[in-house]
A and B are shown apart, each in its own frame.
Chain A
Amino acid sequence: MAITISFINQKGGVGKTTSSVNTAAILAYKGYSVLLVDMDPQANTTGYYDMYDSEKASIYNVMLRGARVMEVVKQTPVKGLFILPSVLDFSRAELELSQILMRQEYVLKDALSFVSDSFDYILIDCPPARNKVTINALTASDYVVIPTIPDHFAIESITSMGELLNQVKCGVNPNLQVLGILITIDEITSNKKAYKEVLQTGELLPCFDTAIRKNTKLQEAINAHQPINLYDKSCSGSKDYSAFVDELLNKTGSTSGF
């Protein structure tokens, strides 16, 4: 059974795609079998690995056209890492999902259930929104990571995510757990320092000890269509994401005593 983790935050530009793409790659590098699901019609995750193709089948087909996941999933250039790509047309999903008669929230979960045994980790990159697509991702997930820039808007967006997660836990997915807030684009400024400290107290929600420092190499890696651990192993972005993955593995470690 795969461990499914969603990267969510309705605030845009906080590092959801960067985080999910690099986390997936590092997990694959460590030998895990990983599926990266791109739920954003902007399809940045798909484009990151230079795999955008509007002609080919995508998450849209899987969720709304009855296509099977394994027929649509593609191997990325990174060994062990597979992707369920997205397309621009997926922006129609919101409307189409609301026309489904029953179990609108479970469409993704049902589709992924067929491949759950084929992967160790399924990472879902969510759009910057609170909508049916996000709810589908949350219904299908075991855990949630909330990437966020440590500034004042972080508190508001985390509150907003908190409300959404409360509803999901009360309704479609009582077992969803918040793995933690992941601080991204961290810098040594007094403003970011203050908010980082406040977030890392864990008073709002659990927060990862690792923070991802601002690092232009992370943008350069996109241009190269490579995950950061392959693009530049020694840069701070690579080190930070590796540390984050270690923390994540620790937190999602088997607790059943097997």
Chain B
Amino acid sequence: MSKISIDNIVKSMDKAKETTGVLKFRPHEEILSLSILETNPYNDFAENDTPADIQELADDIKLNGLMHPLVINKIDGHFRLISGECRFRALQKLRYDNVRCTVYNDLPLACELRMLYAANLKVRTYTPAERIKYYEKLKELLTAQKAVGEYDGPIQSSIAGMMGVSDRQVRKYERISENLGEDDKEKLAQGEISVEQAYRIAQGKPKKTEKSVAISATTGSEVEQTSIPKPAKTGSTSGFTKNPKESAPPEKEKKIVQSAVSQDHKADVTNVYTDAWTQLRKLYRLFHYSENAEVANKLHGIILKLNDVMESEGFRLGGSESADE
């Protein structure tokens, strides 16, 4: 086996995928029976469709026909709606049988959710509360996928990509989601306070597992994350600490640290982190392609751990060379 250069295979595969990757995810049009289509469990926004809305759409379709095909993800034998739940229900009401669909084959869940969110954005306006809720759902999904090794990228910036917002905005959602009390969340839902106001309130509160640091609300700098000792996956209690030394530095020291942390340092860390991640990925694939699943899996675990550590420090992958799958 050693006379075959796996590296050469991997190199040419990477290049080839630039072309075939595009081809794989192009959709095609197909006429499908309504009975095999399934609604999307991530489409909470359909809750807002009233029977009157659906009837109105049904009348329109009866008069003008279905003007825009439904968008479907054909995956694992399922035909799942990405865009068009309202039309789907209207068509069911009309008892139509076969409908025009734009079908994607085996679209990864991340792409599906991004399209779902974007499609809804065109026809619905999201309230801030809905955005936070969607953020929480995506976070739950990606965290679960990461835990079983189905996904090994940075969570926050992926969600940012999916929702079409900046990474900074996603961090704000995170802080609001984690820290905002129920009554404040209700105020946000009712539109009594804005996302910015909610964020400031959320910043004012200390994080749940932290003991000593109250982060100044005037900080606003991007390096505001402090490290929280994460519970170890094996369930040992070494992650939980009663030892003040292991928790975040006291406030005075933190202010000095923050001011000393320059943008240069952040860029340095980001670059080295990205390099390390890219090399580890290459290493992982070398073993993966040479059938050494054991070593490949161990390396995969190292990559996940690296991401965890970096993410908890507020760092994410940068640059375009890390943009492989």
Q: Identify A155's interface contact among B3, B12, B28, B105, CB under 8 A.
A: B12
Q: Do B28 and A191 have beta carbons less than 8 Å apart?
A: no
| CB contacts between A and B, total, < 8 Å | 82
Number of interface residues of B (CB under 8 A): 31
Q: Do B16 and A258 have beta carbons less than 8 Å apart?
A: no
Q: Whole-angstrom distance between the alpha carbons of A88 and B8 in the complex?
A: 40
Complex contacts, B23 vs chain A, CB 8 Å: 162, 165-166, 169, 178, 205
Q: Which of A62-70, A98-106, A193-201 contacts B (4 or more CB under 8 A)?
A: A193-201
Chain B residues with a Cβ under 8 A of chain A:
1, 3-4, 6, 8-9, 12-13, 15-17, 19-20, 22-24, 26, 28-33, 35-36, 74, 79, 98, 105, 289, 291
Q: Whole-angstrom distance between the alpha carbons of A125 and B29 in the complex?
A: 25
Q: Do A166 and B22 have beta carbons less than 8 Å apart?
A: yes
Complex contacts, A190 vs chain B, CB 8 Å: 1, 3-4
Chain A residue with minimal CB distance to B77? Answer: A255
CB of A77 closer than 8 Å to a CB of B:
no
Report 14 cross-chain contacts, Cβ distance below 8 Å, ordered by A residue. Answer: A152-B9, A155-B13, A165-B23, A166-B22, A174-B28, A174-B29, A175-B30, A177-B28, A178-B23, A191-B4, A204-B17, A255-B36, A257-B33, A257-B36
Chain A interface size band reads 20 to 34
Residues A258 and B19 in contact in the complex (CB < 8 Å), given A155-B12, A169-B26, A203-B13: no
Chain A residue with minimal CB distance to B33? Answer: A257
Q: Do A159 and B3 have beta carbons less than 8 Å apart?
A: no
Complex contacts, A163 vs chain B, CB 8 Å: 19
Complex contacts, B30 vs chain A, CB 8 Å: 175, 255-256
CB of A53 closer than 8 Å to a CB of B:
no
Residues A162 and B289 in contact in the complex (CB < 8 Å), given A176-B28, A177-B105, A256-B98: no
User: Could you say which of B6, B16, B17, B79 has the most chain A C-beta atoms within 10 Å of its C-beta?
Assistant: B16
Q: Identify A159's interface contact among B16, B31, B35, B36, CB under 8 A.
A: B16
Q: Do B20 and A158 have beta carbons less than 8 Å apart?
A: yes
Chain B residue with minimal CB distance to A199? Answer: B13
Q: Identify A204's interface contact among B20, B33, B35, B79, CB under 8 A.
A: B20
Q: Do B15 and A159 have beta carbons less than 8 Å apart?
A: yes
Nearest-Cβ distance from residue A135 to partner chain B, whole angstroms: 16
What 9 pairs across the A-B complex have the smallest Cβ distances?
A257-B33, A162-B19, A162-B20, A159-B16, A175-B28, A204-B20, A155-B12, A257-B36, A194-B4
Q: Identify A158's interface contact among B16, B32, B79, B105, CB under 8 A.
A: B16
Chain A residue with minimal CB distance to B98? Answer: A256
Q: Do A204 and B13 have beta carbons less than 8 Å apart?
A: yes
Q: Do A152 and B12 have beta carbons less than 8 Å apart?
A: yes
Complex contacts, B9 vs chain A, CB 8 Å: 152, 155, 194-195, 198
Q: Do A257 and B289 have beta carbons less than 8 Å apart?
A: no
Q: Whole-angstrom distance between the alpha carbons of A255 and B28 in the complex?
A: 13
Q: Whole-angstrom distance between the alpha carbons of A158 and B200 in the complex?
A: 54
